[in-house]
Amino acid sequence: MSIFQQHIFPVRNKLYRFALRITGSTHEAEDVVQDVLTKAWKTSEEPETAGQIRNWEAWCMTLTHNRSLDRNRSRNIRRTSALEVVPETKSSSDSPAVVLEQQDTIERIKTMMQQLPEKHRLVMHLRDIEEMTYDEIAQTLDMTLDQVKTNLHRARKAIREQMLVKSDMNIL
């Protein structure tokens, strides 16, 4: 099995979600992923270069991050899309009211994440949505491990505080 089939192709959806998170456009995200997959294909076919890459997923995520930012800069696109992929847990025994409340909470969190600073938003997305490790996030975003942890802590704290303010407002 080739490097591309084994390590790169299986993460294409994760690359797309990450590109979408940064660009805010499905078309831009598709183009970014196409560029990344093309580059990965060519690189995986070069034995000398391929041997230098230890973690293909992290390498592809880094490429996706950089290409997405480049597209935003070159086209001066402002991120406006909502988070489209959030794991939703739904039990078959949940009542319609519980399901509706869960959906409302998810939508509020999506909106709150949009308001976070970019680094906080990206770190939170990679950790909580993509379930990447701290090391993978650090490598992908070219940050130190401490920066990743700090940004994630601040992002979660901001979301938690906003959720508490919203719940206090609902009580009144």
The count of structural domains within the chain is: 2
Alpha helices in 45-144 (DSSP H): 47-50, 56-75, 96-114, 118-124, 134-141
Q: Are residues 68 and 126 in the same domain?
A: no
Q: What is the pLDDT of residue 144?
A: 94
CATH assignment at residue 38: 1.10.1740.10
Residue 160 lies in a domain: yes
Please write the tens of the pLDDT for every residue from 110-145.
888 888 998 999 999 888 888 888 998 998 888 999
The answer to whether the CB of 54 falls within 8 A of the CB of 138 is no
> Which domain does 156 fall in, by range?
96-171
On whether the CB atoms of residues 154 and 119 are closer than 8 A, the answer is no
Q: pLDDT value at position 77?
A: 38
Give the chain's largest Cα–Cα span: 65
CB 18 within 8 A of CB 62: no
The pLDDT of residue 91? 52
Instruction: Tell me if the pTM is above 0.85.
Output: no
Is 58 part of any domain?
yes
Q: Both 55 and 104 in a single domain? A: no
The reply to whether 141 falls in a domain is: yes
- The CA-CA-CA angle for residues 137, 161, 134, to 5°, reads 10
